[in-house]
Amino acid sequence: MLQRKMVVLIGIMVLFSMILSACTTVAPAAPAAPAAEGGEASWWRTAAQSANCEGVTIRGVSESTPPSNFAKEVLGPAFEAETGIKVELETTSWDQMYSKAINDMQANTGIYDFVYIEQDIIYSYLANNYLTNMTKLIADNPNLASPDFDLSKFTSFIDNFKDANGDVFGIPMEAFIKVYLYRMDLFNDPAIQEAFKAQYGYDLAPATTHQQYQDIADFFTQYGADNGLELWGTTVQGNTGHSSSFYEFFETIAPSFGVYNWGINMDNWKATVENGGEMNSDKAKEALAFWVGLLADAPPEATASTWDEVAASFAAGRAAQGWVYGENAAWIATNPEKSKVVGNVGVALPPVSDGVMADAESGAGYIGYYDGGAFGLPVSSKNPLCTLLWMQYIGQESVQADWAVAGSRIVMESTYDDPKVQEVNAKTDNYYTLMREEGPLFRGAPPFPFHAAMVNTVQPFIWKALSGEITPEDALDQAAAAADAELVNLGYGQ
């Protein structure tokens, strides 16, 4: 009897799944793009037709962040309506995105027509000749060169995606700086200001030196404890199992102490001080000790925090100050559904050691991280011309403003002046103004083709320092030695 029941149950399941699979394989017909009204077809439509792209589907992969989601949900359908080319943008986790893009380009399988290139991985991709030269592609196909697309309108961020000849290999789609956020409500509270001054002897203001940062962090942690609040003095992006901690240390903290390019000497490819590098220099050790020391002033989830958790902690009101990526600054400051600190977010330049600001201004160094990414066209793509149209579409001036509002990213000079952006600017304590004016003081990741391998080699030591297993000094000594060995392994330096 029960046997019968099970056979029936299984039979139903099989039938059900057969029906479902039939439904999924019959791909829903793409909505017929409305024919242009009036006799005149748009430039996009004509271009698509001339390249036989109508009805083609192009595929891309990117990280699941607000800017990419905007491209997927708004720009993609709009492009399809204009050209008849369907865009399938897969948004996934940061690790997955990389492994899929790299596997595809490496194996030349042509699965993706455009991939997200973060500013730090461009060098690896260029070294491996994964990407198509966009400048050349446009020059070779003048009939497909959109009049609304102009490479010179982009901010200097696009320089990151150029090769030695100045040819462009990626169309920027997002850029922001990792900035110093602080709680304006706490910093402007008279009682708190008085107490701070009484204890430390100077006025409470956003920190400009590391000592001030430490003082403020200590103060607010104590304040939170004394008043029974879930409040700590600082955020720390200290995840002891994820690359994010490596990045905060080497891209934000270390440079502010004067250690640039991860402490790797780019002339002889060495990291240890003995061989001419700076990874385990005194300045670097000071930086790591400072940063690991801040854990005492950070909320308990700090050692489990990547950039997302740091943003969430700050948005939940758990930190008085912190280093937060610009893409998060906007929603923390304006979205009441996700943030408890709307309207109280202040933005400032990160604190730096002596001499670092001068280095940054002269171009010898930098004070923090200028992050961002572009879409690139793999050489292995099977639809380069159709994808070229898409790249130009997203690079148009007209789409930038709405994109900026949705994803708090700016890659074009003119976007700064757009009224919609100005409005958001006001609500975020002039974050965009800061980015525009002081952006040049920040820099992206150093031009290392071995970026990923190096991160994976060095990060375990950072993790161990964060968990207290080894001291920061030992961590850097060991990390630098491991870095030297790995560099030789990869064929750089002797």
Partner 1 sequence: MRSNRMGWGLLTPTLVILALVGFLPFIYVLYVGFFNWNAFSNQLGMQWAGVNNYRRLVFDGDFLDSLWRTGLFAFVSVGAELALGFLLAQTLVKSFPGRTIFRTIYVLPLVMAPIAVGATWRLLTIPGFGPIPYYLDKWFGIDFRLATYADQAFATVILMDIWHWTPFVTLTLLAGLTALPKEPLEQAQVDGANRWQVFRHLTIPMMMPVLLTVIFIRLMDALRIVDEVFMLTSGGPGTATQFIGIHIYRVVVPKTDFGYGSAMSLLVLYFTIVLCWLLFIALSQVGKQRE
Partner 2 sequence: MKTSSFRKVLGWIGLYGLWIFMSLVTILPIYWMIVVSARSRVELFDRPTLLIKSFYAPNYIGPLTDPVFQRYLVNSIVIATSNALLVTILALLATYALSRWRLPGSENIFFWTITQRMAPPAAFVLPLFLIFTRIFKIGNWTMFDTHIGLILLYCVFNLPFAVWLMKGIMDGIPIELDEAAFVDGATRWTVLIRVVAPLVAPGLAITFILSWIFAWNEYLFAANLTSVEARTITTGLAEFVSVTGTNWGEMAAVATVAILPALIFLVFVQRYIVTGLTFGAVKE
Which span sits near partner 1 by CB under 8 A: 82-90, 196-204, 297-305, 343-351? 297-305
**Which does residue 156 bind out of partner 2, partner 1, none, counting CB within 5 to 8 angstroms by kind?**
none
Decide: is 145 part of the binding site for partner 1 (CB under 8 A).
no
**Which does residue 241 bind out of partner 2, partner 1, none, counting CB within 5 to 8 angstroms by kind?**
partner 1
Tokens matching residue 333: 């400051």
Contact status, residue 432 vs residue 424, Cβ threshold 8 Å: yes
**Which does residue 124 bind out of partner 1, partner 2, none, counting CB within 5 to 8 angstroms by kind?**
partner 1
- Rounded least distance, CB 106 to partner 2, Å: 9
- Which element (helix H / strand E) includes 247? helix 244-247
- Rounded least distance, CB 282 to partner 1, Å: 24
CA-CA distance, 462 to 441, in Å (whole number)?
A: 26
CA-CA distance, 41 to 161, in Å (whole number)?
A: 33
- CA dihedral (199, 200, 202, 206) in degrees, to 10, reads -110
Decide: is 99 part of the binding site for partner 1 (CB under 8 A).
yes
Q: Which residues does 180 contact at the CB level (< 8 Å), separation at least 6?
A: 206, 207, 321, 322, 323, 347, 348, 349, 350, 351
**Which does residue 453 bind out of partner 1, partner 2, none, counting CB within 5 to 8 angstroms by kind?**
partner 1
**Which does residue 127 bind out of partner 1, partner 2, none, counting CB within 5 to 8 angstroms by kind?**
partner 1
Contact status, residue 71 vs residue 89, Cβ threshold 8 Å: yes
Q: Which residues does 319 contact at the CB level (< 8 Å), separation at least 6?
A: 183, 231, 232, 233, 234, 235, 298, 299, 313
**Which does residue 492 bind out of partner 2, partner 1, none, counting CB within 5 to 8 angstroms by kind?**
partner 1
242, 270, 409, 443: which one binds partner 1 (CB under 8 A): 242
Closest CA to 375 of 72, 50, 47, 30: 72
CA distances 165 to 135, 145, 168, Å, are: 10, 21, 9
Instruction: Give the burial class of 89: count Cβ atoms within 10 A of its Cβ; 0-12 exposed, 13-18 middle, 19 or more buried.
Output: buried
**Which does residue 468 bind out of partner 2, partner 1, none, counting CB within 5 to 8 angstroms by kind?**
partner 1
Considering beta carbons, is residue 95 or 163 the nearer one to partner 2? 95
74, 102, 357, 481: which one binds partner 1 (CB under 8 A): 102
164-203 mask for partner 1 (x: CB under 8 A)? ----------------------------------------
CA-CA distance, 371 to 452, in Å (whole number)?
A: 16
Considering beta carbons, is residue 192 or 316 the nearer one to partner 1? 316
Contact status, residue 250 vs residue 244, Cβ threshold 8 Å: no
- Rounded least distance, CB 407 to partner 1, Å: 26
By CB under 8 A, name the binding residues for partner 2.
3, 6-7, 9-10, 13-14, 16-17, 20-21, 23-24, 59, 61, 63-65, 88, 90, 92-96, 99-100, 103, 107, 109, 111, 230, 306, 308-309, 311-312, 316, 318, 337-338, 340, 382
Length of the chain: 494
**Which does residue 109 bind out of partner 2, partner 1, none, counting CB within 5 to 8 angstroms by kind?**
partner 2
Question: How would you write 26-49 as a 3-class SS string?
Answer: CCCCCCCCCCCCCCCCCHHHHHHH
Considering beta carbons, is residue 12 or 36 the nearer one to partner 2? 12
CA-CA distance, 108 to 475, in Å (whole number)?
A: 39
127, 205, 229, 485: which one binds partner 1 (CB under 8 A): 127
Query: What SS3 class is residue 164?
Result: coil
Size of the site for partner 1 (CB under 8 A): 41
Q: Which positions touch partner 1 (CB under 8 A)?
A: 95, 98-99, 102, 106, 124, 127-128, 238-243, 295, 299-301, 303-304, 313, 318, 449-453, 455-457, 460, 463-464, 466-469, 489-492
